[in-house]
Chains A and B, each alone.
Chain A
Amino acid sequence: MSGLLVAVLSLLALVMAGWAVVVVARDRRVGRATLAGLGVVELAVLAVTVDGFAALAGGTRPVETATSVAYLVVAPFVLPAATLWALTDRSRPSPLVLVVACLAVVVIAYRAFLLFAVTQ
């Protein structure tokens, strides 16, 4: 699994998390620009997922294969779920849900990366 890809995803997700904080601080709501930013992060998530499954297809066998697959399967759903949530709740702190989701995505990607590093 590509460490560079995970690093890029982490960077993008952290930027997006910071963005969400700014949105709340300025008392704005999730708008088109935020959605575009989330779209970019989600693309990076999908890239990591595809990369992980490609590694599995290519014969890489992490010691904890089941857990690794679980991480890859869950990852793409985190941001869409949080986005939906932030959009349906129009209260001021609602974009903070995106911070949680972005950090969760970073943790998931990093954990998957570590799991893939330990192969049988």
Chain B
Amino acid sequence: MAQERRTTGLGRVLVALYAVFAVAAVSRAAVQIATEFHVAPVAYLLSAFAGVVYVLATVGLGRSGERWRRVAWVACTVELVGVLAVGTLSLTDPAAFPDAAVWSRYGSGYGYVPLVLPVLGLVYLRREARAARTR
């Protein structure tokens, strides 16, 4: 395995963005589930799930090494699929989402960052994987 190397440079900016979203999504879901779970259980559970995925992506991108890169890769992919699926569902079947989740309407409530973030993450991981191969 390649030598342990901490994520530096632009990768760190990405990790910082992910960290913000991890904190935001987890705390928001925690509050919603604790105080008003009955209002929109699907949306809130989804937010909680999204939060966990963001945490995994944050840690995965922040650590180096093959295993963490794979964790980050899976997390980013799940995120991209999630934001696309939930985004589409929230537009075609709004009744299922009475209250907004992080991924509702392709993350428009969060300036579409939830849509852009996994793409950036995957691009970064691809670049890292290439760099690791040539090292």
Please report A residues at the B interface, Cβ cutoff 8 Å: 64, 66-67, 70, 74, 78, 82, 85, 89, 91-94, 96-97, 99-101, 104
Contacts and interface: CB of A to CB of B under 8 A. Distances in A.
A104 B34 CA distance: 24
Contacts of A70: 27, 31
The B interface, classified by DSSP as helix, strand, loop or mixed, is helix
A94 B31 contact: no
Interface of B: 6, 8-10, 12-13, 16-17, 20, 23, 27-28, 31, 34-35
Given A89-B8, A93-B10, A94-B9, A100 B16 contact: yes
B37 to A, nearest CB: 13
Given A94-B9, A96-B10, A104 B20 contact: yes
A70 B32 CA distance: 12
Contacts of B9: 89, 91-94
Contacts of B6: 89
Nearest to A73: B27
B16 A67 contact: no
Nearest to A90: B8
A104 B24 CA distance: 10
Contacts of A91: 8-9, 12
